[in-house]
Structure formats: structure tokens, C-alpha cells
Structure 1
Amino acid sequence: MNLSPTEEQTALVDRFRLLGRDLGADLPARERTGTLQPGDWQRCADAGVLGLPVPRAYGGLGLNPLTCALALEGLGEGCRDNGLMIALGAHIWAAEIPLLLFGSEEQKNRYLPGLCDGRLIGAHAITEAGSGSDALSLTATARREGDHYVLDGAKRFVTNAPLADVVLVYATVNPALGFTGVTAFLVERGQAGLTVETRYEKAGLRTAPWGEITLSGCRVPLSARLGAEKQGSRVLAATMAWERSLILAPLLGAMGRQIDDCVQYARTREQFGRNIGKFQSVSHRIVEMRIRLDEARLLTHRAAWDLERDVASHYAEAAQLRTSESAVETFLDALQVYGGLGYTTDTDVERNLRDALGTRISSGTSDMQRLVIAEKLGLTTRARAASPRPAGARHAHAE
């Protein structure tokens, strides 16, 4: 595995880093109100961020997963709005990717160009009040009536829901079938029987809007079904492989920026007549921060490498687990380096820490990541396990 970036990849990373520095100018105010900046979203769309993995035939850049990871790390290094990065990731990995892997040509042509150029925003609705980590024990139902399905149920903690134009919804055609009855549907904003409301204020990632979705007699045509009936577990498994591998790539950049800030602060902050960076307790803490970042980056790149080759492995979960937990530890260490100043809102430290805490829950909690890895190592067997990634569902390259 060659980890040396090409000239083209380096240029893309530099371009995205510069783009990131132009985003989030009003971040403190928007974090207080929990709002996403539409102008920043559109600037990302215009730069190609929203279409990174989507083939050029559908309006994207057609880049491979490793290049996507590198580019998004650069964007995250430049941009201080971690909520925007998560909202972008939910849109790309949990809305565009399942469309790309399982959508019909009509569905791809209907949605992907708009999702890439910013005209449309996507969301992914799986979590329910009674099914979080056990996502496929959901109770939302899909009843077939002629050439339509009638959807009933409720989803919560749906990133991008308040802004979404199209939502990927999972429901079961027969609750008695368990996970084998789950089916995926594309439901558009304004569809009769679909309501969206915002109920929760979050501790962090506040600029990534959350919402609760209610489906009450929501009739959608057969053409709204994504993939075959009862194929929802396969759609979810493939989506999670991509999301867990790559959604936290921008957080690698945020960690790198925080480490650089800590190094600079430790070089200039004086106590007891010398710079605090000369105290072993401080310098060793920053060394550990750097090692954690290197570990998380290597796991992310390996997960991306496996995605490119359609190799089923534990690296997607390992990347999500190590990146999220390393971020929390790193920002806690940054708080110690900065002392009282880090506990104020005058620096990014406290916001980064609050944001990082949420990443240990999204895409499956840290405990769930460990459970999945243990299962893939042959140590455990869950009663309900998602089907493996479908054969042939590898990333499509643009010509």
C-alpha cells in the first residue's frame, strides 16, 4: 500500500485546505443558534466537495476513497466548523453512496446531479426511539398497496433532516421478518404524510442540524424504493462501510490543526521563567497527541484502501473508533496545555472537545464498533447481523 500522495492529490488537499479557511466566519454565532451556513454549503458544492466520490457522469469528481480521505482531511484542517464537516459527510456517505451503489439509473439521474451541485441536500433516517445501536430492529413499516408503499413510523437524530430535500428511510415490510424485512426508500421533502421537526439541542456539532421525522400514511411510488424489497440490510451495511471509513476524515485535519496550535502556544507561553514546551509533562502530552493522530490517519487510509478494492475487513470500524476516541483524548490534552484559557470560548479547544464527544456516538457507538470488530474477528456472533457488502458494489471511477 503506497501512502505517498501524488502531485494531483497534494494539489487537491492544498486547495481544500484554503477553501476551509474561507468557511465558518460566523461560527460562534451560528453555534449558539444551531444553524448551518447555506453559503458555506454552496461554496463546498461549487468546489466539488459534495461530489467527491460520485462519477463524473452524475456530476461528481469520481475520486477514489483514499483521495477523498486526503481531500477531506485538508478541508477539516482549514475549516473550524466541525458541524459543517459532519453534515457534509452525512450527505455524501449516507445519501449519495447508497444511491450510487443501489440506485436505478433513473434514481441516479434524478438525484445525484443535484446532490453534487448543491441544489439538493440528502439525509439518512434509520435511528428510532427503540432502535439505536440495534438499528435493524426498527418498527417503521412499509405496506405495499398496488403500485405504492405506505410508510408509517418515526425516526430521530437525523442529521440534515431540517434541510433535506430527499431522505433515505428504512422500514420493514413485515415486522415478523426481523432485519430480513427491512427495505430502503427515497422520500422527498413535501411528500404527503412526511413531517420534520427539530426537538433536540446538542452539546456539540451544533451547526449540523438534527431533526425528527414522522411518517404517517406516507404514500410513495414503487420507484421510490432503493434496491430490491427486503434488501435494506445490505444497503445499510454498504453505507456504514463507507461512512465509518470516511466521515471522520475532516476530524483528522481538525486534530492536526489543534496540535499545531498547541505546539505554537507551548513555545510562547512562559511559566517559571521558560516556555512550557520545555516541561516534559507538556512536551510528552503533545507527542502523544501526534502519535494518536498518526494512528487514526493510518487506519482511515487503510479503510479507504479496502473500500477501493471492495475488501471486507474490520478497518472501517477501526478507523471510526480510533479517530473518534483519539479526537476526544487529543482535545482533552489540548485543554490541559492551554489551562484556563482552553476552558473559555476564546479558543477552539472547548468547542472541539464538545464536537468530538458526538463522534463517539454517530455511525455506531464506540462499544458497537468494538462489537462489530470482535464479530469480524470471529469472537462473537450477533443474533441479527447486517448482510455483508454486496458483491460488485465497489466504487465506480469516472473516466
Structure 2
Amino acid sequence: MNLDLDAETTQMCEVVTAFARHKLAAPPDFGTRDFRQRWRAAGAQGVLGTTVPDGFGGLGGGAVTAAAVMEALGYGCSDAGFAFSAAAHVFACLTPIAEFGTEEQKRRWLPPLAAGELVAAHAVTEPDAGSDALRLSTRAVREDGDWVLSGAKCFITNAPVADVFVVQAVTAPGGGYFGLTSFLVEAGAPGLSVGPRHAKVGLRGSPTADVHLDGVRVPPGHVLGSEGGGASVFAYAMRWERTCLPAVYLGVMRRVWEQTREYARERRQFGVPIGDFQAVAHRVVDMLARLEQARLMLFRAARRLDAGQADEVAPALAKLVVSEAAVALGLDAVQVRGALGILDGEAETLLRDALPARVFSGTSDIQRNNIARALGLGARH
């Protein structure tokens, strides 16, 4: 299995890394204006259109190319939250619009979303329905030819800055898998409101908030896919998100590992570099092993996705392994630095940013459940 990137993709990733280092550095505090400026710059660089067909302003890349670009973005961008927002925008919103959208929907939304002129958010999670996406309480009912949406969504990435929401709502209560429908809802629609931005332990550069829908009217032309096809849209988005979004962490992990290795070479105690001590050297080696194992798992899943092998196991394994590796690598990076590791810096930042990875897009425990179920193990629901 050859996981080497082709020359064109490698060159693209080098450009993205250099661009991210110079143009996407983390600001001292989050600001909407600054976020928008960097967002437009990322769009102009092609980062936000990796999976969008070239006829709609994108690069037309597959999962391997998209994952490689996100890895390069994470490696070069000191603001992992911004990189996370970009990946969520691409894989949870643009990719399903490109797959399920009508020609009119794709012409209207994909070019400005890929160019960074607009921001998208995927609104599925609810206070009482996170992992159990088939038990949503948000409802959509027909009224005078339109759909009227009412309900509440929580922890929605990009919500405070979003221009369009991909909203999952129940159109056939009790319909199970065929009871959900996906809608494209504009941020300015009457009845749609966004709560205050959440303060999070990590990924602080990614704005997150709750979304409320109070009788929001949506024309029939804003249904994404078919009525009753929302679960298929959601499952498609999650395959891409769980496979490719964690690639951001691969880039961040490699950057922090390289910094940790240099620190172990330069920091001296008892007259010698601390890297001369076996306990430190072995820890640095273990960090590299976790990184490489996670990378192999993720790009294997990406290649399977490109090959049309839409199984549950590979994306869930990729998401699980990368998430757990990021937390473990962050802990090791802090430990090698000692007291300096708990001060503001790359090690503690990675650890804070890694903790949400075990929760978003399905917790690590949910990923294990999904894998076990696909293997014919665990409880049947």
C-alpha cells in the first residue's frame, strides 16, 4: 500500500504550509473581522475548495488530496481552531452540497463558499440528540408550499460567523432513517437566531454557538437531497468528516513533535541535553510512533473513501486513532517540557486543542461502538 503523495499534491501542500505560516497565524483574541479576513485568504489560496468540483470554483480533489491539504494547513497554521473550522466547512457542508445539491444549489452556494466569501455550518447536534441523530426534535412541516422549521441546535461549529446552515430536521416523525430531511437555511432568515459564542477549553479560534429556529420558513428549493434523505446526507458528511478532518491534527502533531525533539536536544540538565536521558528519548520516540500510526490509519481510510469503499470501520478507526494519539502526544509534549509545558506555548495549546477531538463528530466511545457493531459485536439498536 503506497501512501506517498504524488508530486503535484506534495507541491500543493508545501504552498499551503508556507501560506498558513505567514497569513493564518493565531491572533491574541478571537475577532470576527480578523476571522473573515483570514477566511477569505484561505479561500483565495484554494484551501476551502479542495473537494468542490472545478466547475464550481474548487480543486476537484478526492479524499487523499483533501486530507493532505488539511494536514499541511494544521502543520503551518498556529491556530488549530481556524483550521478546524475550515475542515468542518469543507467536509460537513461543501462536500455534501457538491454530492446532493441540485445544479441551481451548487451554482448558488459552492463558488462563494469555496472562495471564502461565505461561511457554512452544519447544524445537527441537539441538547437531547447528539450521538443519536435519528432522535432529533427539530421539526419541519409544510405550510403554504414552504417548509417551516422549529427547534434548537447546540455546539454548532462556525455558527457565530455562518452565512448558511445545513440543518437536519424531522419531516416524518417515527420514520427512522427516512424521517430526516436536510435543508439549506440562510443566516438572515426570520426566526433563525444564534446564541453567544461558547468559551471552550480548546479550539478557541473556531467559533461555536447554539442555534435556534423559531418558525423559519424555507422554500422547497432549499431542500438538500430529497425529502426523507437527510440521514443519507448526514452519513455521507460524517464519512468525509471523520476521515479527513482529523488530518488537521496530524499536521499540528508533527509540528509539536518536531519542536519537542529540538527542545530535548537543546535543554540541558545535569550538564547534558535532556534527550540523552532514556526516559525523555523514549518518550519522544513514542510520540513519533503515535503520529505515524495515526497518519497511516487516516490516509488508508482516505484511499478507501476515494475507491468508493464506504464502510463504517475505516472512518471510525481513523477518527478514533488520530483523536487519541493527539491527546497522548500533547501530554507527552507537556511532560518533556516540565514546568514550561504548563505555560502558554505549543505543548499546552496542542493538549487543549486535542481534548475536543475525542468528542466532536462522535465521541471516541461512539466510534468504538460503531466499529464493534460493524464487526458484529456489541448491542444491536
The change in CA–CA distance for 1:255 and 1:36 in structure 2 (over 3 A counts) is farther
**Structure 1 residue 9 displacement after superposition:** 1.5
**Structure 1 residue 24 displacement after superposition:** 4.0
Correspondence for 1:231? 229
User: Is 2:134 aligned against 1:105?
Assistant: no
Correspondence for 2:377? 379
What is the total number of aligned residue pairs between the two structures?
Answer: 380
Q: How does 1:335-354 map to 2 (within 5 A)?
A: 335-345=334-344, 347-354=345-352
CA contact (8 A) 1:20 1:75 kept: yes
CA contact (8 A) 1:335 1:349 kept: yes
**Structure 1 residue 179 displacement after superposition:** 3.7
Letter in 1 for 2:330: F
Correspondence for 1:83? 81
What are the superposed Cα offsets for residues 209-251 of structure 1, whole Å, 9 maximum, x if unpaired? 0111111111111111111111111111111000000011121
Q: Partners in 1 of 2:34 and 2:229 — Cα distance?
A: 33
Correspondence for 1:17? 17
CA contact (8 A) 1:36 1:84 kept: no
Q: How does 1:309-388 map to 2 (within 5 A)?
A: 309-313=307-311, 314-345=313-344, 347-380=345-378, 382-383=380-381
Q: Which structure 1 residue ranges, 4+ long, deviate > 4 Å from structure 2?
A: 33-36
Q: Partners in 2 of 1:187 and 1:154 — Cα distance?
A: 14
The change in CA–CA distance for 1:36 and 1:321 in structure 2 (over 3 A counts) is farther
What are the superposed Cα offsets for residues 161-193 of structure 1, whole Å, 9 maximum, x if unpaired? 111111000110132223431111000011111
Sequence identity, in percent? 45
Q: Partners in 2 of 1:109 and 1:25 — Cα distance?
A: 32
Q: Partners in 2 of 1:381 and 1:146 — Cα distance?
A: 43
- SS of 2:227's equivalent in the other structure is coil
- SS of 1:158's equivalent in the other structure is strand
**Structure 1 residue 291 displacement after superposition:** 0.6
CA contact (8 A) 2:26 2:79 kept: no
Correspondence for 1:187? 185
Correspondence for 2:57? 59
- SS of 2:336's equivalent in the other structure is helix
CA contact (8 A) 1:183 1:230 kept: yes
Q: How does 1:137-176 map to 2 (within 5 A)?
A: 137-176=135-174
Correspondence for 1:388? none
RMSD across aligned positions (CA):
1.4
- SS of 2:233's equivalent in the other structure is helix
What are the superposed Cα offsets for residues 326-372 of structure 1, whole Å, 9 maximum, x if unpaired? 00000100000000011101x21111111100111110000001111
**More relative contact order in 1 or in 2 (CA 8 Å, sep 6+)?**
1
What are the superposed Cα offsets for residues 296-342 of structure 1, whole Å, 9 maximum, x if unpaired? 10111011101111102211111111111100000100000000011
Correspondence for 1:394? none
Q: Partners in 1 of 2:216 and 2:40 — Cα distance?
A: 30
Q: Partners in 2 of 1:37 and 1:382 — Cα distance?
A: 44
Letter in 1 for 2:232: R
CA contact (8 A) 1:34 1:208 kept: no
Correspondence for 1:245? 243
Q: TM-score, normalised by structure 2?
A: 0.97
Q: Partners in 1 of 2:252 and 2:263 — Cα distance?
A: 16
Correspondence for 2:270? 272
- SS of 1:162's equivalent in the other structure is helix
CA contact (8 A) 1:181 1:230 kept: yes
Q: Partners in 2 of 1:133 and 1:34 — Cα distance?
A: 30
In structure 1, list runs of 5 or more residues that go unmatched: 384-399
Correspondence for 1:177? 175
Once the two structures are overlaid, the 10-residue window that deviates more, 191-200 or 146-155, is 191-200
CA contact (8 A) 1:35 1:207 kept: no
Q: Partners in 2 of 1:25 and 1:309 — Cα distance?
A: 35
CA contact (8 A) 2:178 2:229 kept: yes
**Structure 1 residue 199 displacement after superposition:** 5.1
CA contact (8 A) 1:65 1:307 kept: yes
Correspondence for 1:396? none
Q: TM-score, normalised by structure 1?
A: 0.92
Letter in 2 for 1:213: V
**Structure 1 residue 26 displacement after superposition:** 4.6
Correspondence for 2:5? 5
CA contact (8 A) 1:73 1:252 kept: yes
Once the two structures are overlaid, the 10-residue window that deviates more, 36-45 or 51-60, is 36-45
- SS of 1:171's equivalent in the other structure is strand
Letter in 2 for 1:171: A
CA contact (8 A) 1:34 1:207 kept: no
